[in-house]
Amino acid sequence: MNARLLPNAPTARLTSLSLPSSSSPSSSSASSSLSSRHFHTNGFLSRDSRARRRQQHQQRNHRLNNKRVSYASDNYVKNVASVETRVPLKICWQLWQDRTRIPNWMPWIAKVEYDDIDKTKTKWILETEQFGQKLQFSWTAKDLEPVEYERIAWKSEDGLRNRGSVTFKDVGNNSTKIEMMIEYEVPAVLKPVGELVSPLVGSIIGKDLERFDEFARKVEKQLLKK
């Protein structure tokens, strides 16, 4: 599904990833909340602790600016982020259709390549440095049936297990609302800090969509010059 896209669109990749440091207010708050301990009273869990236990078995949503962090019940963690950009729906749709462009606004994705035979499959390589480790993951994604100008979706077939979608909505005035949802299994190497992964990923994809907004507006300006 490699669209023939917009001529002379920006091609320079962003090479640095701005992530909240462990000393930032949002990171500190998330760490403090996630590291809290349950207290016992007379050998039994307190009422608050029992409530927390019940919540661990239910899907919980937290809103962080334009990011929603959810804990799924099937071993997948879900993150959702959205952005509204003053760029027409058609341009936004076409930019996402060419998967090889994605590293322009998602710099932690080092490379996306189409399969030589099946163009509904792409090979993804993720590279980042977090929690004092240099991390690299890869997977092959299979595109699911798209809804033109409304939704694209995928599911991994090997490597890092994940699935997700990007939805598009024309909100008028040549503007588009884009929402990205990613579900994934926390890799074994990150299990010791698993509770911190979801807030981090939520922050990352929120910034990714802000970068997409900037990238798409640059593309639109180039097109208007022609």
Q: What is the mean pLDDT of residues 151-169?
A: 97
Residue 149, pLDDT > 70, answer yes
- Residue 125 sits in a domain whose CATH number is 3.30.530.20
- Does the residue 17 lie in any domain? no
Longest Cα separation, the chain: 75
Structural domain contains residue 165? yes
10: in domain: no
Alpha-carbon dihedral of residues 193, 198, 199, 204, nearest 10 degrees? 110
pLDDT bracket for residue 120 (50, 70, 90): very high
Q: Is 30 within the bounds of a domain?
A: no
Residue 2 has pLDDT above 80, yes or no: no
Residue carrying structure tokens 């590293």: 103
Q: Which of 59-63, 92-96, 193-197 has maximum average pLDDT?
A: 92-96
Considering only residues 139 and 10, tell me which one the structure prediction assigns the higher pLDDT.
139
Q: Indicate the number of domains in the chain.
A: 1
- pLDDT over threshold 50, residue 50: yes
Q: Domain range spanning residue 71?
A: 38-225
Q: Is residue 173 part of a domain?
A: yes
Q: Is the pLDDT of residue 145 over 50?
A: yes
In a domain, 29, yes or no: no
Among 30-44, 45-59, 122-136, 196-210, the least confident range:
30-44
Q: CA–CA separation, 109 vs 136, rounded Å?
A: 10
What is the reported pLDDT for 191? 84
Q: Are 201 and 182 in contact (CB under 8 A)?
A: yes
pLDDT at position 130 is 82
Higher pLDDT, 224 or 34: 224
| Residues 83 and 95 sit within 8 Å (Cβ to Cβ) | no
Q: Could you tell me which residue, 35 or 190, shows the higher pLDDT?
A: 190
Burial of 80 (0-12, 13-18, 19+ CB in 10 A): buried
Number of residues in the chain: 226
Looking at residue 42, what is its pLDDT?
Answer: 39
User: Does residue 16 belong to any structural domain of this protein?
Assistant: no
More confident residue, 12 or 103: 103
Angle at 166 between CA 102 and CA 61, to 5 degrees: 115
Asked if residue 11 is part of any domain, the answer here is no
Cα torsion for 27, 181, 156, 13, to the nearest 10°?
-70
Per-residue pLDDT, 101 = 96
* pLDDT score, position 192: 84
Look up the pTM and report it: 0.67
Q: What is the pLDDT of residue 20?
A: 35
**Phi, then psi, of 113 in degrees rounded to 5:** -130, 140
Mean pLDDT of the chain: 77
